[in-house]
Amino acid sequence: MKKILFIVSLFLLVACSNNEVKYDGAPLKIAVVGDIPELHNEKIHFKPISLDEFSEDTLTISTNFDAVMITPVMFEEASEDRFVKVYKDSKMPIIFFDSRKRNLPFTNEGLTYETAHWESLNNGSHTTIYISDIDANREDAWYFYLKDEKELDILYKEIFQKIETL
């Protein structure tokens, strides 16, 4: 009996520790530059890619994925001027996850994530989705806010819902 209780409690502990996101929209494939998010949802599929992969083959990336997510471990390199044109020409949503400086250090030459003045760029948002289509003369950004780290699953759900509509 003790073994059964132990196994059941171990199963419940593992099940409760999953970072499950309650997103029930269309399946999404997201390329990730940086750390893969530790969350679980059968409709969300992440695949790691490098910045060079993204910049060298944006057509393939945009054909095979619904969005590209860039995480904080890659912000300094991702904000180098050589990638500005990549972001502006990509025509697909780019998620700058946990960027207090929004998309600005990434989409403006002469700024890096480190050198951009945080105070002037901070609008209180946690994450920004940026999309640009030079042919359509379109450039948009959507901001997502996180009040409490316990609500990270809600933040992800909102991001995925927005990606689904773009």
Residues 39-51 have pLDDT tens digits of 999 999 999 999 9
Task: Find the domain containing 9 and state its range.
Answer: 2-165
Q: For residue 9, is pLDDT > 90?
A: no
Residues 119-166 have pLDDT tens digits of 666 788 999 999 997 666 678 999 999 988 889 999 999 999 999 999
Task: Tell me how crowded residue 108 is: count the other CB atoms within 10 A of its CB.
Answer: 14
pLDDT value of position 59? 84
Residues 148, 46, 112, 84: what is their CA dihedral angle, to the nearest 10 degrees?
-130
Total domains in the fold of the chain: 1
Residues 20-45 have pLDDT tens digits of 899 999 999 999 999 999 999 999 99
For the chain, where are the E strands, in sequence order? 28-33, 44-48, 67-70, 94-96, 127-133, 138-144
